[in-house]
Amino acid sequence: MKKMKILIIGAGVLGSNLAHSIKKGNYITILARNKTYENLKNNGLIIKHKLGRKTIDHFKVINKLEENDIYDVIFIVSRFSSLDSITPIIESNKSKNIVFVGNNMNAEKYMNLKDKNVLFAFFMAAGKKYDGYIDSICLNKIEIGRTDGKDISNEFIKSIFKDTKIKLIIDNKMNDYLKTHACAVLPLVFASYKVNENLKLLKNDKKYSLKIMDAIIEGYDVLKKLGYEILPKGEYENCVNKKKMCAFIYRFMFSNFIGKMCISDHAMSAKDEFILLENEFEKLKKKAKIETKVYDELKMTLLNDVAFK
């Protein structure tokens, strides 16, 4: 099978790690702008892996996507708050296969782009972008698929990752998966803002960690009321039946670099994204007509934060 010609739009933590992890067996191009574009052109893609060595990759880099720049697949690895500005560029391009990667509480808005085969994904990587390099943890695992439950894209998906070391999970109910993930993430983001990113201040706070779990469960209840499946399977039951254990795991994460790299770094650098995700959740909550008292309490602690005024 021939190598895939792949474009990755976005050279942040997720996009950079995806480019590095998916390079084997594929031709990779990265679309970046401004200083990021110059850094990639001049110095390559530098990743300092928290659990491994530093890597430097040299990919083709562009700063503009033309109508006739055809790729086998385009990965859009940008914040949820940036998708509306990127979508028109994608729609005017003639490439067929599009994958939106990352947090997304409203896949319905993007799943039916004209003449496109649209997939959604979540790539398991975290960290922080610095000037000229990425500091990160990457689990080399991706959840990817359609939103309509059909498996008609499965073989194409497998062909993208066939030579890579990425653990591939195909899930064709990605709208449900991404909504579930957002409901799990938002209370953790609130925790980051509560302590101004210093999550170590919460490492011994059992009461607050249990409130995080209650807020997550409330979010899941909203989704269930609206007919969405809580994914991955067993997630809801684990949160309810193993609540104390889950809360302990969060406190452990808060106590070390995992909490910083996996939660607070992104929470603090992407407030616009989380404001939009929270707004989308409020719409779902209003539609479901369900109270979320603990979730609202955690969110209320942010009223003194300019981002949520």
We report the CATH number of the domain holding residue 72 as 3.40.50.720
Q: Do 214 and 181 share a structural domain?
A: yes
Q: Do 35 and 93 share a structural domain?
A: yes
Residue 253: DSSP 8-state: H
Of the three residues 172, 190, 223, the one that is the final residue of a domain is 172
Query: How far is Cα 72 from Cα 65, in angstroms, rounded to an integer?
Result: 14
Phi and psi for 234 in degrees, rounded to 5? 90, -10
Which string of b and e fits 67-91 if b means at least 16 CB within 10 Å?
Answer: eebebbbbbbbbbbbbbeebbebbe
User: What six digits make up the tokens of 23?
Assistant: 């390079």
Of the three residues 143, 172, 201, the one that is the final residue of a domain is 172
Q: Do 100 and 209 share a structural domain?
A: no
Task: Yes or no: say if 111 and 118 are a contact pair by the CB < 8 Å rule.
Answer: yes
User: What six digits make up the tokens of 152?
Assistant: 């008609």
User: What six digits make up the tokens of 60?
Assistant: 């083709």
Phi and psi for 118 in degrees, rounded to 5? -100, 125
Q: Do 168 and 65 share a structural domain?
A: yes
Q: Do 82 and 151 share a structural domain?
A: yes
Q: What is the pLDDT of residue 163?
A: 93
Q: Do 181 and 53 share a structural domain?
A: no
Q: Do 95 and 72 share a structural domain?
A: yes
Count CB-CB contacts under 10 A for residue 145. Answer: 23
Q: What is the pLDDT of residue 309?
A: 45
Of the three residues 125, 142, 172, the one that is the final residue of a domain is 172
In which element (H, E) is residue 167 found?
A: strand 167-170
- Identify the burial level of 233 via C-beta atoms within 10 angstroms of its C-beta, where 0-12 means exposed, 13-18 middle and 19 or more buried: exposed
Residues in the chain: 309
Query: How far is Cα 123 from Cα 140, in angstroms, rounded to an integer?
Result: 7
Query: How far is Cα 182 from Cα 267, in angstroms, rounded to an integer?
Result: 12
We report the CATH number of the domain holding residue 299 as 1.10.1040
User: What six digits make up the tokens of 37?
Assistant: 């574009």
Q: What is the pLDDT of residue 51?
A: 84
Q: Do 190 and 166 share a structural domain?
A: no
Query: How far is Cα 131 from Cα 114, in angstroms, rounded to an integer?
Result: 37
Q: Do 81 and 151 share a structural domain?
A: yes
Q: Do 160 and 185 share a structural domain?
A: no
- Residue holding tokens 């066939």? 162
Q: What is the pLDDT of residue 210?
A: 98
The residues, ordered by sequence, that sit 6+ positions from 120 with a Cβ below 8 Å of its Cβ are 99, 100, 101, 104, 107, 111, 144, 145, 146, 147, 174, 175, 177, 178
Task: Yes or no: say if 166 and 17 are a contact pair by the CB < 8 Å rule.
Answer: no
User: What six digits make up the tokens of 148?
Assistant: 């309509």
What is the tally of structural domains in the chain? 2
Q: Do 197 and 168 share a structural domain?
A: no
pLDDT per residue, tens digit, the chain (309 aa), is 678 999 999 999 999 999 999 999 999 999 999 999 999 999 999 999 998 899 999 999 999 999 999 999 999 999 999 999 999 999 999 999 999 999 999 999 999 999 999 999 999 999 999 999 999 999 999 999 999 999 999 999 999 999 999 999 999 999 999 999 999 999 999 999 999 999 999 999 999 999 999 999 999 999 999 999 999 999 999 999 999 999 999 999 999 999 999 999 999 999 999 999 999 999 999 999 999 999 999 998 655 554 444
Relative orientation angle of helices 206-225 and 293-300, to the nearest 10 degrees:
120
Q: Do 233 and 212 share a structural domain?
A: yes
The residues, ordered by sequence, that sit 6+ positions from 53 with a Cβ below 8 Å of its Cβ are none
Question: Residue type for 167, please?
Answer: K
For residue 34, give its domain range. 4-172
Q: What is the pLDDT of residue 222?
A: 98
What pTM, to 2 d.p., does this model score? 0.95
